[in-house]
Structure 1
Amino acid sequence: MLQILNFKNSVNFLRHAVPISIMSMILVIASFVSLGTKGINWGLDFTGGTSVVLNFSKPADLNSLRDLLADGPTESAIVQNFGSSRDVVVRLQTQQGTKSDDQVKLVMAAAEKQDPQVERKSVEFVGPQVGQELAEQGGMAVLVALICILLYVAFRFEWRLSLGAVAALAHDVIVTLGLFSVLQLEFDLTVLAGVLTVVGYSLNDTIVVFDRIRENFLKMRKAEPREVVNASITQTMSRTVITTGTTLITVVALYLKGGSMIHGFATALLMGIVVGTYSSIYVASFLAIRLGINREHMMPVQIEKEGADQPSMMP
């Protein structure tokens, strides 16, 4: 009776699996098209440039400083607070035909117009070669993470679930990168950290669902795979709603009040959490069903003992 109630009282989430899967495919294709045509707006960490940290004697007017730097070799300057309202960091991308020292002098001249007592605390230069290495290492970090997850889930569960999990993770990463490409948002190291965080968050949600699927395949012996998956998703939905809801509250607060320094990080998390929540259901689980997952695949492997089939020699 308990077994019947488990799947008869469950919500039929997979009823919408086909249209949502089509939507996911469209999002992935659109992301690839945007990445191929518009590319990614790489930040200073990847392209190379100069970072100038200034200390004002009073709270700095960032909008006024941006206007002063809007023309000439400093037109691409990014002006942000750095720890306090009096500390400001100015990030400048490398300009052809312009020396970094000249850019720093222009920044100081603009800052002195706003506050004659301004002090230059530090100047850092990131070369293009270093930026290229960071981009390559960041891409390798995401790729290695996906391969390790593929092996882990295949070892812990089953290869069909493993492919579903990795497909969902790849889907989340591609769609998040596609958003940054379409909107041409700056992609720096904080955004890369956000993308890797999305991978971990999405995997955690997927593993919880897969754990329940494995348990229910062993308990609900007469149920069809779709019924087992629907029951598993229903049983874990309260946990998903609470986890996603509390996380989104924090991320939205960071997005609205965290300042420009972590705006990209919060944007990546916000997009990744929303996409990762539904991909655990409609990408990972649905793909496992399409690959033919069933109860036999969840059964533990029986190891025969040596000599078990040999006839006994005892009288």
Structure 2
Amino acid sequence: MRMRLIPDNTNINFFKYAGVTFGGSLVMLAASVVVYLMFGLNYGIDFRGGTTIRTESTQMVDVSAYRSTLDALELGDVSITEVYDPGFRDDQNVASVRIQAQDGAESVTAETIDTIRIALQQVAPDIEFTSVESVGPTVSGELIRSAILAVLGALTAIIIYVWLRFEWQFAVGGIVALVHDIGLTIGLFSLLQIRFDLAIIAALLTIVGYSINDTVVVFDRVRENLRKYKVMPLVDVLNISANETLSRTMMTSGTTLLALLALLALGGDVIRGFVFAITWGIVVGTYSSVYIAKNVVLMLGVKRDWSKKNPATGGRYADAEDN
């Protein structure tokens, strides 16, 4: 006896409140753009420039103690990460301390470095700064451009894949859903002023992959049902397909969210922004797969070929699984 998360006879009309679900999403996307233009993003060191200090001590690295000490200096965005390496000695404890550029300067001044060293010596008296490296505004600007190109490149590749795999209407639906997911994520980060760094770019790319995977599963079932129900209206085919894949969607999203919520609660400050972005992305990605992508396909319509004499052979999608 199998436990079923969603009953087999589920028949939810996902288009009943299309004006609210699809229209509301458009309003939220527009609001995200407005919020971004008003507040911008709270860029981390990767995009604003700053200095990375590599520390070494015989004492265990206490990230929370390091952070509390440096927060008192009011240096702005500070990131602290303990560094592990199998080649380290047993008494070799290394940390990476990243500090944002101060007042638009190319790097943190020598006086500030000395102040940081004195402060950290209160936590680990024998601490040493083995290296000090700076990331200037030029490099930060290149990172921003590379991040934008990475996201746009992923979106372009996905459009081409869905277009070739299905039809152009499905490609448009998929890309609208992805723009929705990324737009709402960036809008939320702008509204809450959560630190936006390279880890968040990685999260955005993860969201893109997860969301389009969920959307393609629904589209694949739509294609099968277009072959199976040759005279059924497109809206009904889309509804049946969404209901048939609903159990898979809820199971996949639910189990992923369980792991993410555990990381969000117990993972610590270093990965909290990354995990929060993916958690939010899973929620809006699941929503867009059900309510956004299919609405776009319905509005654009899908042509079906009824010219074959034998109805059992299907329409234009009859050989789709064999190609």
TM-score, with normalisation over the residues of structure 2?
A: 0.84
Cα distance in structure 2, aligned partners of 1:244 and 1:156: 24
Q: Which residue of 2 aligns with 1:235?
A: 244
What is the letter of the counterpart of residue 39 of structure 2?
K
The counterpart of 1:225, out of the listed 227, 234, 240, is 234
1:198 aligns to 2:207 (yes or no):
yes
Letter of the 1:276 counterpart: G
Alignment match, 2:101: 94
- Specify the alignment match of 1:45 in structure 2: 46
Report whether the alignment pairs 1:14 with 2:15.
yes
What corresponds to 2:3 in structure 1? none
User: Which residue pairs with 1:209 in the alignment?
Assistant: 218
The range that moved more, 192-201 or 102-111, is 102-111
1:300 aligns with 2:307: no
CA distance in 1, matches of 2:207, 2:108: 38
Deviation, 1:23, is 1.8
Q: Does 1:36 find its partner at 2:37?
A: yes
Unaligned stretches of 5+ in structure 2?
1-7, 85-92, 307-313, 319-323
- 8 Å Cα contact 1:206-1:284 kept in structure 2: yes
- Aligned counterparts, 1:49-128, within 5 A: 49-60=50-61, 62-70=63-71, 75-83=75-83, 87-96=94-103, 99-128=108-137
Q: For residue 232 of structure 1, what is the amino acid of its counterpart?
A: S
The structure that is helix-richer by fraction is 1
Work out the percentage of aligned pairs sharing the same amino acid: 39
Cα distance change, pair 77–187 in 1 and its aligned pair in 2 (3 A) = closer
CA contact (8 A) 1:50 1:100 kept: no
1:122 deviates by 3.1
CA distance in 2, matches of 1:122, 1:14: 59
Shift, 1:149, TM fit: 1.4
Q: Partners of 1:27 and 1:169 in 2: how far apart?
A: 14
Alignment gaps of 5+ in structure 1: 1-6, 303-315
Q: Take 1:187 and 1:9, find their aligned partners in 2: how far apart are those partners?
A: 41
Q: Does 1:163 align with 2:172?
A: yes
Q: Equivalents in 2 of 1:51, 1:143: separation in Å?
A: 29
> What is the rounded CA distance, in whole Å, between the counterparts of 1:122 and 1:62 in structure 2?
18
**Aligned match for 1:139, one of 135, 145, 148:** 148
Partner of 1:172: 181
Q: Which amino acid aligns with 1:94?
A: A
Q: Which moved more, 1:171-180 or 1:92-101?
A: 92-101
TM-score by length of 1: 0.86
Larger Rg: 1
After superposition, the Cα gap between the structure-2 partners of 1:220 and 1:128, relative to the gap in structure 1 and judged at 3 Å, is same
Superposed CA RMSD in Å reads 2.5
**Residues 11/109 of structure 1: CA separation in 2 closer, same or farther (3 Å cut):** same
Residue 27 (structure 1) aligns with: 28
Aligned length: 295
Q: d(CA) in 1 for partners of 2:10 and 2:187?
A: 38
> Can you list the C-alpha shifts for 1:213-267, whole angstroms capped at 9, x where unaligned?
0110110123211111111011111111111111111211222222222112101
Q: Distance in 2 between matches of 1:283 and 1:53?
A: 47
